[in-house]
């Protein structure tokens, strides 16, 4: 055998094989690179491939529902703070809160001392029809004890609510009697206006808790009633109003603005700019307006406040608002769950973005209000962090600033100077609320017979609440002021609150509470002193 010749043939064959392998490997590498590029280009393709791979190859049976729920929660956690996936129960609760009605028994209650006390029986509701009364203590819901067992308040609500037509047994203590009431649930109207009354001969006050489906209708009714009573100036209280339906903020803004005035515009990557203007037909265009806001005023509250401020239509009083200016669109699924997906941002008429920054992580965003307090912003206007690079101008040329939230025209700090040791001790044990409840128990007939505010004031002035409250605090909670000086300092702040809590049990309800609480409400005092803007929207 010719070994040289054979060696040459083997070398040639080996070269061909190696060359082929190199070509194949190069081709494979090129194909992988192409696949990777294609994967990047296709966006969600990688997730689809992983899911399909799990379905085809995973060693055990997959609980698709739980995996999907967990995946969605994680996915939305990577987006902005207000895009959210809501499981069925959370979606139902979220929508019920803003719907303007819910299905239940028709009461409002408070839990001052581990026992739910009925504050209001909604007129025409199932509870009123069956005989529940203001001041009743709720002991059980069906066969579940809820009094004296640290039962969570949200769980109480869930047990009382239910589909219209279903029955629930509410067992209450009334005086020394224990009475069971079988109540058939029904549709209950929910009001977004907490209070509406005349402060004086020409000044009206409206407090709005949220922008629900019924807000515009409620506001039209309340403001018309105040106009009929002589209102020339309105104090519109949006403190702690976390927002709600966008269209309701538009309707309320339109009532105060002139034709063509910008209200708000929104814009996003996949949403063209949409602008909204006043039609000039609002019947409150000549009413002097003061708007109250604080760090918990958000979303639709900020849209309204921004429209009023940028058009120089009214004075904004309080503290910088929350800074929630992202627009969510809903997406519903057949299993009852849903998505609130951010699709755009809100901008005030001057061009300010309402949304505060959220690019430094969820933790900093979540603690923003706390950080504002620690930085001194709640106590001094000079401590508000203003971004001078984001300066805009109102219709009349006043400077306003972006960067998140609405900065008020008149700043009112938190008042921390009146919190004595006695006051703080009473606050920790809810002494004032429990005293008001016990006072109502022993003065039910007197309080429930009072229909007019002047009569309520006369009653409270003569009731001797100061001495009774001190006695209650000492005997029930073992809390006493250190001396006359501490009580004198505490009383000027505490007793208006106590009077307000007692007055809430009269037929005046929440109107009495907020009217009486005005005595210690520094923001409201500032609003009443506020002068109208000289620029006033070209009027």
Catalytic residues: 299, 310, 324
**Residue 532, burial from CB neighbour count under 10 angstroms (0-12, 13-18, 19+):** middle
| Tokens linked to 28 | 């494979």
Q: Which residues does 497 contact at the CB level (< 8 Å), separation at least 6?
A: 432, 517, 520
- 3-state SS of 115-166 is CEEEEEECCCCHHHHHCCCCCCEEEEECCEECCCCCCCHHHHHHHHCCCCCC
Cα separation, 499 vs 440, whole angstroms: 12
Cα separation, 419 vs 417, whole angstroms: 6
Residues comprising the chain, all counted:
539
Residue for token pair 């609760």: 93
Work out the end-to-end distance of the chain between its first and last CA atoms, rounded to an integer number of angstroms.
114
What backbone phi and psi angles, to 5 degrees, belong to 231? -65, 130
Helix H or strand E segment including 104 = strand 101-104
Q: Quick check: 117 and 263 in contact, CB under 8 A?
A: no
Provide the CB-side half-sphere exposure for 453 (13 A, CA): 14
Q: Which residues does 442 contact at the CB level (< 8 Å), separation at least 6?
A: none
What backbone phi and psi angles, to 5 degrees, belong to 317? -125, 135
| Tokens linked to 426 | 């009473």
Cα separation, 130 vs 122, whole angstroms: 12
Q: Quick check: 60 and 54 in contact, CB under 8 A?
A: no
Per DSSP bridges, beta strands 186-189 and 193-198 are unpaired
| Tokens linked to 122 | 């909604």
């Amino acid at each position: 055998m010719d070994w040289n010749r054979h060696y040459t043939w083997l070398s040639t064959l080996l070269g061909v094989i190696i060359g082929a392998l190199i070509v194949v490997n190069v081709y494979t590498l090129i194909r992988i690179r192409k696949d990777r590029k294609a994967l990047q280009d296709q966006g969600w393709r990688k997730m689809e491939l992983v899911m399909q791979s799990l379905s085809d190859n995973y060693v055990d049976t997959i609980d698709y529902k739980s995996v999907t729920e967990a995946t969605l929660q994680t996915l939305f956690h990577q987006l902005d703070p207000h895009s959210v996936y809501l499981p069925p129960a959370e979606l139902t609760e979220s929508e019920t809160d803003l719907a303007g009605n819910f299905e239940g028994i028709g009461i409002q209650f408070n839990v001052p001392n581990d026992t739910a006390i009925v504050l209001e029986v909604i007129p025409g509701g199932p509870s009123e029809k069956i005989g529940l009364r203001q001041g009743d203590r709720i002991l059980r819901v069906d066969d579940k004890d809820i009094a004296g067992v640290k039962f969570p308040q949200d769980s109480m609500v869930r047990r009382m609510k239910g589909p219209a037509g279903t029955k629930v047994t509410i067992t209450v203590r009334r005086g020394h009697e224990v009475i069971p009431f079988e109540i058939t649930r029904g549709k209950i109207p929910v009001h977004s206006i907490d209070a509406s009354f005349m402060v004086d001969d020409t000044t009206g006050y409206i407090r709005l808790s949220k922008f629900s489906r019924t807000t515009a209708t409620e506001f039209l009714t309340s403001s018309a009633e105040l106009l009929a009573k002589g209102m020339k100036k309105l104090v519109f209280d949006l403190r702690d109003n976390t927002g709600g339906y966008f269209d309701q903020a538009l309707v309320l803004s339109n009532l105060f603005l002139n034709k063509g005035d910008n209200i708000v515009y929104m814009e996003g990557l996949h949403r063209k700019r949409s602008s909204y203007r006043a039609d000039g037909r609002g019947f409150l265009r000549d009413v002097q307006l003061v708007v109250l806001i604080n760090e918990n005023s958000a979303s639709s509250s900020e849209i309204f406040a921004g429209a009023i401020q940028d058009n120089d239509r009214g004075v904004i009083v309080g503290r910088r608002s929350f800074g929630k200016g992202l627009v969510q669109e809903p997406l519903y699924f057949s299993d009852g769950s849903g998505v609130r997906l951010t699709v755009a941002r809100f901008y005030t008429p001057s061009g300010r973005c309402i949304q505060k920054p959220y690019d430094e992580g969820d933790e900093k965003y979540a603690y923003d209000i706390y950080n504002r307090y620690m930085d001194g912003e709640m106590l001094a206007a000079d401590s508000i962090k203003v971004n001078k690079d984001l300066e805009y101008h109102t219709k009349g040329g006043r400077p306003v600033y972006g960067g998140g939230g609405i900065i008020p025209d008149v700043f009112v700090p938190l008042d921390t100077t009146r919190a004595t040791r006695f006051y703080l001790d009473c606050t920790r044990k809810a002494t004032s609320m429990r005293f008001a409840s016990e006072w109502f128990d022993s003065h039910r007939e007197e309080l429930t017979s009072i229909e007019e505010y002047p009569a309520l004031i006369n009653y409270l002035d003569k009731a001797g609440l100061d001495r009774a409250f001190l006695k209650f605090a000492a005997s029930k909670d073992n809390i006493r002021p250190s001396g006359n000086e501490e009580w004198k300092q505490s009383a000027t702040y505490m007793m208006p609150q106590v009077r307000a809590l007692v007055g809430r049990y009269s037929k005046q309800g929440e109107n009495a509470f907020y009217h009486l609480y005005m005595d210690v409400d520094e923001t409201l005092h500032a609003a009443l002193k506020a002068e109208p803007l000289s620029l006033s929207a070209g009027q």
